[in-house]
Every structure is written in C-alpha cells, then in structure tokens.
C-alpha cells in the first residue's frame, strides 16, 4: 500500500528558505491571501505545486555552518524582570476598559476587573505591574562563529538594572499581574515572521482577552480579525489565582482563591500570532514566567513547614531550547538564521539554541539545582540525557511536567522527553561531583523531518556543557520531598457523567486539520457551558507524524492512552496534570477537563508550530 507520506509534494526550494534576500512574499500577502479565501483550504493547492519530496528538500538544504563548541557562558543566575511604574503616565494607568483613546489596541474589557480591583482604574499596590517591548535586536550573537544578526524578543528592564532580552517573570499566586506589551517591531519588516504580536502566557488560568488568542494580534497599524482596533500596546491581566476560583472561593482559609492542587509553576510566554507563530517564536519571542505559592515557594530556606524547599534562585535555572537553521557555507545567508513561514513542512533546525545561544557552557556549584527544561519549538522533539565526559548516563529526579509538580518525584531518571511546548523540571544533585567535573546535556532523539521524531540513538548531540566549578558559598539546605503536590483526579461519577467530544488530528490537502477543518478564529468549533466538565478524545490516526496537542487555559488529566487501538500504560511523567498531550503515530488519548471561572474564546492546536500555522487549530468557547 502506498504510504500517505509519499503523496506529499510541495513547491519549495533552498532559495525560498533564505532570509531577506530572495525570500517568501511579504507576510501580509500571505495573510491577505489566506483571509481572502475565507480559510486556508485554498492555500494548499497553491503552495503544493512541485513534485519535490520533503526528504529531497531537506537533503538539498545545506547544513548550518560548523561551530566551535563551548565558547560562551550562560549567566550563573536568572535576572528577573523588574516592575515598571505604570502610574506616572496618568493618561495610561491600567484600567478595565481598553484605553484606545491613548493608544491601546481594541481589546475587550478585562473580565472580573471590578471584582478584583473595585475601581475602573488600577490603584497602586493592587497588582505587580510590568512592561515589555517586543523589539528587533540587530546584534544578537547565537554563536561567536556566526555574524551578529537580527533576532526578535521581549525586552524589559531587569533587577540588575539593564535591558534584557526575554527576561524571566517571577510571579506569585495571590498577587495579580498587569503586563503592558508594546509592539515596537519594524512595521516594514521583510523576511520570515510578521511584525504583529499576540502574547500567550502558556498555560496561565487567564481570562480570554489576556490569553493571547491568535486572532487578537496587533500592531500600530493592524489588528487581528477578533480584535477591535490596532494600537501601540495591549494590557494583559493575569489574576494568578488557582483554577477552580468559583468552586473554591477566596476566604480567610483560602486567601488566594481556587483549588491549590491546580497550581502551575513553570510557565512560558511566547508569540501566538495567527499563521506566524512558528516564525515569530523562532525569531526569539519566547521567555519564562515562574509562578510560586506557599508550597513551591521559591525559597529553600522557607521556615513554613508546608513549604517544599526545592532548590531555589539562584539555583533554580530555566533552560529554553529552540532548533534553528542557519544559511550554509558559501550561501548569501551564510551563518544567518533562516526559516520558511510558508512551507507546511517548515524548516527543521540542525542547531539547538539554549537560552538563545548555540553550545553554551553553564558553570554550577556542587550542590542541588532545579532545571526547568522547555521545548520552545518550532517542531523538534527532544530526549535529553545528562552524561559524563565519557558519555556515561547520569541520573536525576523528575519533579514536574508541563509546569505541574508531580504527586511524587520520579527518582533515578535517565532522560526527559519533551514534545514542543512541554516542560520538564528536574533536580540534579551536583554534590556528587568533585569541582572540575564536566558534564553534558545531550539530545539523543533522532528527527530528520519536522513531522516528528524517530528513534533514540547514542551518543546524540551535546547541546549544553555543565562544569562543576565551585563549592557553594553556604550549605545546601534544599530538598526533594517524597510527596510534592496533591492531584485532584476526577471521580468515577464525574467521568461517567462527562460528555465526550472527539477531535481528530489529520493531514488534509497538504495542510493540517482538526476534525477535517482548518482554523477559523471567527467561529468556535465547540461551546462549553462554564463550570462543565468534559472528556476530550484526541486522536491521531496517522502512522506518519506526531502532534503535541496543546489545550489552552485548563489543565487536563489523561484517563486512557491507546496505540494502534490497544490500551497502553500512561507513562509516569504524564500521570499528573498536563496542557500538552503528545499524540504519537496511531494514538488516541482520553483527557478529562474542567472549564471554569472565565468565559470567552480559547484555542486547541498542535504545538508543532508549523502544523499550527498551517491550520491545525480550533477555536473553542466557554459560554455563560
Ligand atoms: Cu502536529
């Protein structure tokens, strides 16, 4: 039988993968074309005109130029974003209604604003207030062997009193955040990516208008189909309450409000502009948001007996991985980041950046560290191992998946596998290594096309060198307790009562579809009454590719997993709460979800950003 993959054809040449010179048509023409057709359905035959196979295209793309490893060091600690005074400009004090008179885009009113703040306008000390600008940086150094070049990202003022690209936000349950996002990208940009933005804070329990809905993109001159007007900035209200806010109301015994079993810790924020998420995020618009509470308090010295006292700042270290392709030796774009927004198979990177750098070095003290690993796409999967200089596998403790602490830690683990947008928090105890020890974080997962990974192969690609270079200045009092955070599993009664909704993720006309449809941000594919629970069946009937499916806003619990129609055990790290559900080939998952507290439009999509940009996304709404 002919394999479906063999049917795939596309019009793609190495030239079309180059940046700025002979690159793809202007972004707006693609968007205008997509929109003019009413859907992306007609784009597929237009794009797919050449008989070249994907494998042929990849083989003719020259590899990224070689790099000399381990030349640059990552900073020893995270430099958190500092608050901005948004009260000095009296015309633009954050408010519930959109401030379109003074330059804000036409968002809808912040939900539950009056309930949280009691005034139309925010008062000082009612929230933490931050400002980020999305900017083009022209001197970014991915690696000293490559030219300094263009990158995009969030720029904000950090605690060390400097402007920082993609700073980490430290947040706390019970303390709302008001984040102002300014779009300062060049509006005449050519090359991959588009200069409109929509910030998605993955996977905060955030009201719809602050969730970064893909159709809510904005710039000073353009606005998405679901936004009222363009603008210079957009304010986002992050309540930082636990999900279940209505079911477990805020009171003296529950000062945050919501169900503390629903806490998230490792979140990230990234661009989510319709049709251009892969290009914009791969340009660099992605960063961390770490959320703490009384249990995971971010303080290993915490005297509160309930606190977990996990390794904390500066020994709590987020690591973001992105795969990128750079123009090959002898090409006009030699050493320059290239990508193709228009190819439904995308561009597979062959260089893995760690916090924006290729093959960096991290120096650590010989004590425990918490590493927060994030696969920020666009489409590569990873299976990370920690190995010695002679490739001997080292063990660590796996404590959180998708930002959710597991009920119990998984001790003596050898690897972490991450689909796009998945997070894995691990604790590594470097006290077992003498000063001077060199270790490597290695990706052993083989992937030669954007459709998904194949096997695991040693020794793999070394992406990060870790040098144990010092004794800690004080004794390590951090710990990994034998229980972490309780989980609320649905009861049998709840499972029996929940309606079942089926979603099929498949290829269609060379694009990617859900339930045979391409994305339409103006029309919900499901409407769920607020407060209801449902079982969502996520089905990938193909043997040819993998889909890391992301459901916005609410975490879910996997009830069953079927491969080739046969029920299989759910891996230990997937038995907690999740927001990314990796659908391998011929896989079906049953996921229990509650829909609570806020209403409005959200999305589910494949987080292979290339699939997502080529229509594998569905809008769903919570309705009152
Ligand atoms: Cu996919």
The tens digit of pLDDT for each residue in 204-214 reads 999 999 999 99
- Give whole-number Cα distances, 621 to 77, 200, 209, 217, 274, in Å: 40, 16, 12, 18, 17
CA–centroid distance, 547 to ligand 1, in Å, is 4
* 55 has pLDDT over 80: no
* 92 has pLDDT over 70: yes
CA–centroid distance, 471 to ligand 1, in Å, is 45
Q: What is the mean pLDDT of residues 416-421?
A: 98
CA–centroid distance, 288 to ligand 1, in Å, is 23
CA–centroid distance, 136 to ligand 1, in Å, is 28
Q: What is the mean pLDDT of residues 409-421?
A: 98
List b or e across 156-192, with b for residues whose CB sees 16 or more CB atoms inside 10 angstroms: bbbeeeeebbbbbbbbbbbbbbbbbbbbbbeeebebb
Q: What is the mean pLDDT of residues 409-413?
A: 98
pLDDT band at 47 (very low <50, low <70, confident <90, very high): very low
CA–centroid distance, 410 to ligand 1, in Å, is 28
Q: What is the mean pLDDT of residues 76-81?
A: 95
CA–centroid distance, 381 to ligand 1, in Å, is 11
CA–centroid distance, 607 to ligand 1, in Å, is 6
pLDDT band at 56 (very low <50, low <70, confident <90, very high): very low
Q: What is the pLDDT of residue 42?
A: 29
Full-model pTM:
0.92
Which residues have a Cβ under 8 Å from the Cβ of 218 and sit 6 or more positions away?
105, 183, 196, 197, 198, 224, 227, 230, 231, 234
The model's pLDDT over 242-294, given as tens digits with 9 standing for 90+, comes to 999 999 999 999 999 999 999 999 999 999 999 999 999 999 999 999 999 99
Cis peptide before 192 (omega within 30 of 0): no
Using an 8 Å Cβ cutoff, are 282 and 265 in contact?
no
CA–centroid distance, 224 to ligand 1, in Å, is 23
Quick check: helix, strand or coil at residue 51? Answer: coil
Q: Where are the beta strands (DSSP E) in 376-478?
A: 382-388, 393-394, 396-401, 404-413, 415-418, 423-429, 438-445, 456-470
CA–centroid distance, 548 to ligand 1, in Å, is 6
The least confident of 16-20, 211-215, 340-344, 492-496 is 16-20
Q: What is the pLDDT of residue 161?
A: 82
pLDDT band at 162 (very low <50, low <70, confident <90, very high): confident
Q: What is the mean pLDDT of residues 412-423?
A: 98
CA–centroid distance, 450 to ligand 1, in Å, is 9
Q: How far is CA 363 from the centre of its chain?
A: 26
CA–centroid distance, 27 to ligand 1, in Å, is 22
């Amino acid at each position: 039988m002919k394999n479906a993959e063999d049917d795939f054809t596309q019009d793609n040449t190495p030239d079309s993968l180059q940046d700025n010179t002979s690159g793809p048509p202007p972004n707006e023409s693609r968007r205008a074309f997509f929109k003019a057709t009413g859907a992306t359905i007609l784009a597929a035959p237009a794009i797919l005109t050449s008989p070249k196979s994907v494998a042929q295209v990849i083989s003719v793309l020259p590899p990224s130029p070689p790099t000399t490893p381990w030349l640059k060091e990552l900073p020893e600690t995270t430099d958190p974003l500092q608050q901005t005074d948004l009260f000095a400009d009296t015309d633009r004090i954050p408010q519930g209604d959109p401030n379109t008179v003074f330059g804000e885009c036409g968002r809808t009113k912040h939900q539950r604003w009056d309930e949280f703040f009691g005034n139309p306008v925010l008062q000082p000390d009612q929230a933490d207030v931050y400002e980020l600008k999305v900017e083009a940086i022209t001197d970014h150094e991915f690696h000293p062997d490559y030219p300094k070049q263009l990158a995009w990202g969030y720029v904000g003022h950090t605690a060390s009193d400097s402007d920082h690209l993609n700073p980490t936000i430290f947040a706390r349950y019970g303390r709302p955040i008001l984040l102002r996002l300014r779009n300062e990208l060049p509006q005449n940009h050519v090359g991959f990516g588009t200069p409109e933005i929509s910030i998605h804070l993955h996977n905060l329990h955030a009201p719809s208008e602050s969730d970064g809905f893909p159709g809510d993109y904005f710039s000073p001159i353009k606005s998405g189909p679901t936004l009222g007007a363009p603008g210079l900035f957009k304010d986002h209200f992050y309540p930082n309450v636990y999900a279940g806010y209505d079911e477990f109301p805020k009171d003296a015994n529950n000062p945050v409000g919501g169900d503390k079993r629903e806490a998230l810790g490792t979140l990230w924020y990234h661009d989510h502009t319709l049709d251009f998420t892969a290009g914009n995020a791969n340009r660099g618009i992605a960063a961390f948001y770490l959320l703490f509470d009384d249990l995971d308090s971010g303080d290993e010295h915490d005297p509160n007996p309930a606190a977990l006292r996990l390794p904390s700042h500066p020994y709590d270290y987020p690591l973001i991985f992105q795969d990128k392709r750079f123009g090959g030796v002898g090409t006009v774009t030699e050493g320059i980041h290239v990508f193709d927004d228009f190819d439904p198979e995308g561009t597979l990177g062959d260089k893995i950046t760690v916090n924006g750098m290729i093959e960096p070095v991290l120096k650590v003290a010989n004590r425990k560290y918490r590493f927060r690993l994030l696969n920020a796409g666009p489409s590569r999967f990873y299976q990370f191992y920690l190995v010695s200089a002679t490739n001997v596998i080292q063990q660590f403790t796996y404590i959180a998946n998708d930002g959710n602490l597991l009920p119990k830690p998984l001790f003596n683990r050898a690897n972490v596998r991450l689909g796009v947008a998945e997070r894995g928090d691990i604790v590594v105890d470097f006290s077992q290594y003498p000063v001077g020890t060199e270790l490597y974080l290695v990706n052993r997962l083989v992937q030669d096309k954007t459709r998904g990974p194949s096997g695991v192969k040693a020794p793999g690609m070394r992406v990060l060198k870790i040098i144990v270079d010092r004794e800690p200045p004080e004794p390590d009092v951090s710990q990994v307790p034998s229980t972490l955070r309780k989980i609320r599993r649905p009861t049998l009664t709840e499972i029996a009562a929940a309606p079942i909704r089926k979603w099929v993720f498949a290829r269609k006309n060379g694009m990617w579809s859900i339930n045979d449809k391409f994305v339409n941000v103006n029309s919900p594919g499901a409407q769920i009454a607020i407060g209801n629970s449902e079982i969502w069946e996520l089905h990938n009937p193909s043997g040819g590719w993998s889909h890391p499916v992301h459901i916005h806003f609410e975490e879910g619990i996997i009830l069953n997993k079927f491969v080739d129609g046969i029920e299989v055990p759910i891996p230990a790290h997937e038995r907690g709460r999740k927001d990314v559900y990796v659908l391998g080939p011929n896989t079906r998952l049953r996921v229990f979800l509650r829909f609570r507290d806020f209403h409005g439009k959200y999305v589910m999509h494949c987080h292979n950003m290339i699939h997502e940009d080529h229509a594998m996304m569905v809008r769903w709404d919570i309705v009152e």
